[in-house]
Amino acid sequence: MNITEIKQGIHYVGVNDRTTTRFEGLWSLPQGVSYNAYLVVGEKVALIDTVSEAFGSRLLHNIEEIIGDRAVDYLVINHMEPDHSGSISTLAMRYPQMQIVSNAKALQMVKGFYAVNTPTVEVKEGDTLDLGGKTLSFHMAPMVHWPETMVSWCAEEKTLFSGDAFGTFGALNGGITDSQVCPEMYWDEMRRYYSAIVGKYGAPVQKALQKVKGLSPETICPTHGPVWQREVATVMDIYDRLSRYEGEKGVVIAYGSMHGNTEEMAELTARYLAEEGVKNIRLHNLSYAEHSFVLSDIFRYDTLVVASPTYNGSLFPPVKHLLEMLAERNIPHRNFAFLGSFTWACASVRLMKEFAESMKWEPITAPVEMKQGISDAVRTECRRLAHEIAQRLA
Q: What is the nearest approach in angstroms of ligand FEO to the Cβ of residue 149?
A: 8
Identified binder of ligand FEO from the candidate list 7, 44, 79, 291, rule CB under 6 A: 79
The verdict on 192 binding ligand FEO (CB under 6 A) reads no
CA 4, chain centre distance (Å) = 25
The verdict on 87 binding ligand FEO (CB under 6 A) reads no
Q: CB–CB of 153/215 below 8 Å? A: yes
Identified binder of ligand FEO from the candidate list 83, 178, 189, 302, rule CB under 6 A: 83
Give just the sign of the alpha carbon dihedral 90, 95, 99, 102: negative
| Cβ nearer to ligand FEO, comparing 194 with 336 | 194
The verdict on 81 binding ligand FEO (CB under 6 A) reads yes
Q: What phi, psi does 308 have (nearest 5°)?
A: -145, 135
* Secondary structure in 3-state letters for 115-160: CCCCCEEECCCCCEEECCCCEEEEEECCCCCCCCCEEEEEHHHCEE
Identified binder of ligand FEO from the candidate list 11, 44, 84, 334, rule CB under 6 A: 84
The verdict on 292 binding ligand FEO (CB under 6 A) reads no
Listed as own residue / partner, the contacts of 55-61 with beta carbons closer than 8 Å and 24 or more positions apart are 55/15, 55/17, 55/87, 56/86, 56/87, 56/89, 56/90, 56/91, 57/90, 58/15, 59/13, 59/14, 59/15, 59/87, 59/90, 59/91, 60/90, 60/91, 60/94
DSSP string, 259-297: SSHHHHHHHHHHHHHHHTT---EEEEETTTS-HHHHHHH
Q: What is the nearest approach in angstroms of ligand FEO to the Cβ of residue 357?
A: 32
Which residue's CB atom is positioned nearest to ligand FEO? 81
The verdict on 50 binding ligand FEO (CB under 6 A) reads no
Identified binder of ligand FEO from the candidate list 134, 145, 300, 329, rule CB under 6 A: 145
Q: What is the nearest approach in angstroms of ligand FEO to the Cβ of residue 362?
A: 34
Q: Which stretch binds ligand FEO (CB under 6 A): 77-85, 102-110, 272-280, 358-366?
A: 77-85
Show contacts with ligand FEO in window 156-175 (CB under 6 A): 164
The verdict on 223 binding ligand FEO (CB under 6 A) reads yes
Q: What is the nearest approach in angstroms of ligand FEO to the Cβ of residue 81?
A: 3
The verdict on 189 binding ligand FEO (CB under 6 A) reads no
| Gyration radius of the chain's alpha carbons | 24
Q: CB–CB of 192/295 below 8 Å? A: yes
The verdict on 148 binding ligand FEO (CB under 6 A) reads no
| Cβ nearer to ligand FEO, comparing 84 with 383 | 84
Residues at the site binding ligand FEO, with contacts judged by CB under 6 A: 79, 81, 83-84, 145, 164, 223-224
